[in-house]
Amino acid sequence: MLGGGDTLDVVSSRRVRVVFWLLAFATVLLAVRITYWQTVGRGALLERATSQIRSDLALPAHRGFIRDRNGAILATTVDLRSLYAIPGRIADKAGSAARLAPLIGQDAATIQRALESGAEWLYLKRWLSEEIAVQVADLKIAGLGFENEPKRLYPNETVGAHVLGFVNDLGVGQLGIEARYDALLKGTDGRLIVERDPANRALAIGLRTETPARNGADLVLTIDLVFQAAAERELRAAVEKEGAKGGTVVVMDPKNGAILALASYPTFDPAHVAQADPEALRDRAISWSYEPGSTIKAMTVSAAIDQRVVSPTTSYNDVGYAIIGGRRLNNALGKAWGPTTVLQVLERSLNAGAVFVASKLGAERLHDYLGRFGFGEPTGVDLSGEQGGLIRPLAEWYPVDLGTAAFGQGLSATPLQLAAAYAAIANGGTLYRPFVVASRRDADGEQRTAPVAVRRVISSETAATLRTMLTSTVDNGLAKNASVAGYSVAGKTGTAQVPSEDGRYLDDVYISSFAGFAPAADPRFVAVVVLDEPESRLLGTVTATSAFRGMALDMLRSIRVQPDRQP
């Protein structure tokens, strides 16, 4: 039997062995751990250590300028100070809110609620003017600070809004040029990696790696600021005078497809989009498909003359209507004109005459020419949100469709498509793809946009004949109000019914328009004016032609075009 001393010796021996094995296990574990950190985990350990002394900063790229064709700035970016708060450091929240409220234009109670919301950090007001930022800084409220943020500015306010689009709070382009060319405009952010000491000071002999930012490209547009301002002024006056739902103007250079002005109304301020009516953001020039009405008669007559089935002097007996496909299609107001020439079809805008011309041409050729003029497909303009209009396939046409298409019903087009089609008549017969960006400039140099001739639509002889006929339409026909003193003007009016959802036409609801160019003999621009649902059917067209005249005079004088007629 073991004595008391022996029992203690055994217990002690066991304890020593337990401690030994514990120490051995710990030693092995530590050795494994050290081996792991020296081999497999070495990279992660170094990364964690490095992250404690390195700062990785983004170097924001500067968003490119947008200018008009003459160099005027349309959009630019500046750094403004945004006010933030760290509520936990603000002792007197109510008092601070009361002092801030009159400076940043917010209710004191709203500011106080924000400061008492429990947030660790929050913006109180973004993009302060320098004057206001200085006044806020002078308050010396602990817990407030400033952060520089880029802000997109549009010096001309609403002018050119639908062409330009806007930039959201995240710096992403929305609508127009800002959206279509967002990747080019925003550039590529750079990167700066610096090693710092515990006091956040850059180490003199530490690592410093910098990848410079690549600033966004500057864009030069085809837009002429004088043209744009004139178009917007006349469009707004026309819409308000006629009580219309809205309207649009497109101005193009017929020689190459460059868009000189593009306006829609109602409009918006791209610097304050949050306050805009959603309908005002709609670019009617490219996204609004409507039945163009009698402005299409110029295309119908062009096709028939090009195919030599009629001439300007070809005549028929106008009885006020035409029967086609078992349907009766009337002239406006049902008036009969008796012996009438094809020239007078345009001058008087006769639906029965357009049916007569189309019947000579035939459905297949009319459908083909409408497609060649660019109707039924997008123009390919370099703006976001373009619609293509609609011309049903020839196989789906009924006999009556030959007649209605001849005067612009049963098909749809955008104002931009119509402008491009009239430009083909103005320039001698070639359809050009419309474009808005004339050139882009970045660190690699300048790239200019080359005009794209899509196709020849009509012969130069046919185009010359149509220019003469459309000039007579302004001089002697329904478009007299488009006349500009001292200059020849060519053009055609349009008054189109608005279809309802059931395929019929709404009573007393119309779209009024005018498409024309000047000077007629050597056109410097083509312009289309469209008013959406003016209160007066007849006066709406008169107002559209007046709007053309008002802006045409400004534009001709701006580019110093010499008069080609006696005033």
pLDDT digits (tens, 9 = 90+) for 140-155: 888 888 877 888 999 9
* Per-residue pLDDT at 41: 52
Interhelix angle 363-372/351-361, rounded to 10 degrees, is: 100
Tokens at residue 264, please?
Answer: 């829609």
Mean pLDDT of the region 37-47: 56
Which two three-digit tokens encode residue 92? 């007197």
pLDDT, tens only, 242-296? 999 999 999 999 999 999 999 999 999 998 888 889 899 999 999 999 999 999 9
Under DSSP, the state recorded for 458 is S
For residue 362, the one-letter residue type is: G
pLDDT value, residue 436: 98
**CB-count exposure of residue 38 (10 Å: 0-12, 13-18, 19+):** exposed
Residue 184 and residue 65: Cα distance in Å, rounded? 11
- Given a cut of 70, is residue 205 above it in pLDDT? no
CA pair distance 183, 19, nearest whole angstrom? 68
As a whole-number percent, the residues of the chain with pLDDT over 90 amount to 62
Three-state DSSP state, 308: coil
Q: Are 184 and 440 in contact (CB under 8 A)?
A: yes
From the options 3.40.710.10, 3.30.300.30, 3.90.180.10, 3.90.1310.10, give the CATH code of 58-82+121-221: 3.90.1310.10
Return the active site residues: 294
Mean pLDDT of 321-342: 94
Distances (CA, A) of 512 to 353, 369, 495: 20, 24, 5
State what percent of residues in the chain have pLDDT above 70: 88
Q: Residue 165 and residue 180: Cα distance in Å, rounded?
A: 9
The token duo for 161 is 């809004």
Q: Worst-scoring range by mean pLDDT, 69-83, 112-126, 158-172, 253-267?
A: 112-126
Give pTM, 2 decimals: 0.83
The predicted structure's pLDDT at residue 512: 95
Tell me if residue 155 falls in helix, strand or coil.
coil
**Between 43 and 234, residue with greater pLDDT:** 234
Residue with tokens 């952010």: 189
Q: Which residue would you say has higher pLDDT here, 447 or 108?
A: 447
Overall average pLDDT of the 364-372 stretch: 98
Residue type, 179: A
In the chain, % helix, strand, coil (3-state, to 5) comes to 40, 25, 35
Burial label, 536 (beta-carbon count in 10 A; 0-12, 13-18, 19+): middle
Residue 491, both tokens: 């053009």
pLDDT level of residue 547 (50, 70, 90 thresholds): very high
206 to each of 59, 70, 154, how far by Cα in Å? 20, 49, 43
pLDDT of residue 314: 98
* Sheet with strand 505-518: strands edge to edge: 259-265, 246-252, 525-532, 505-518, 490-499
CA torsion sign for 527, 532, 536, 537 is positive
pLDDT confidence of 473, banded at 50, 70, 90? Answer: very high
pLDDT band, very low/low/confident/very high, at 123 (cuts 50, 70, 90): confident
Amino acid at 400: V
Beta strand pairing status for 66-67 and 445-448?
Answer: unpaired
Q: Are 164 and 170 in contact (CB under 8 A)?
A: no
Classified as helix, coil or strand, 366 is helix
pLDDT at 194 over 70: no
Mean pLDDT computed over 332-342: 93
Provide the phi-psi class of 563: left if phi over 0, else alpha when psi is between -120 and 50, else beta.
beta
* Per-residue pLDDT band at 202 (split at 50, 70, 90): very low
Q: How far apart are CA 566 and CA 548, in angstroms?
A: 20
Q: Any residues with CB less than 8 A from the CB of 113 and at least 6 apart, and which?
A: none
pLDDT by residue (tens digit) across 7-41? 656 556 777 676 667 777 777 767 666 666 566 55
Cα–Cα distance between 515 and 479 in angstroms, integer? Answer: 10
Q: What is the mean pLDDT of the chain?
A: 88
* Region 405-410 average pLDDT: 96
Output the pLDDT for position 55: 54
pLDDT at position 1 is 47
Q: Is 128 helix (H, G, I), strand (E, B) or coil?
A: strand
Name the residue among 61, 56, 60, 62 with its Cα closest to residue 209.
56
Mean pLDDT of 506-517: 92
Q: Is the distance from CB of 451 to CB of 259 less than 8 angstroms?
A: no
The confidence score (pLDDT) of residue 78 equals 86
Least confident of 66-75, 98-107, 199-208: 199-208
Rounded to whole angstroms, the Cα distance separating 369 from 299 reads 8
* Tokens of residue 558, six digits: 């701006």
**Structure-model confidence comparison of residues 207 and 538, the more confident one:** 538
Model confidence at 2, pLDDT cuts 50, 70, 90, reads very low
DSSP state of 186: H
Whether domain 225-558 has CATH 3.40.630.30: the reply is: no
Q: What is the rounded average pLDDT of the residues 200-222? A: 73
385 with 177: CB under 8 angstroms? no
Question: What is the structure's pLDDT at 87?
Answer: 85
Helix pair 93-104, 108-115: axis angle to 10 deg: 130
Task: Tell me how far apart the alpha carbons of residues 470 and 308 are, in angstroms, rounded to a whole number.
Answer: 18
- How confident is the model at residue 94, as a pLDDT? 86
- For the chain, the structural domain boundaries read 58-82+121-221, 225-558
What length is written for the chain? 567
555 close to 251: Cβ distance less than 8 angstroms: yes
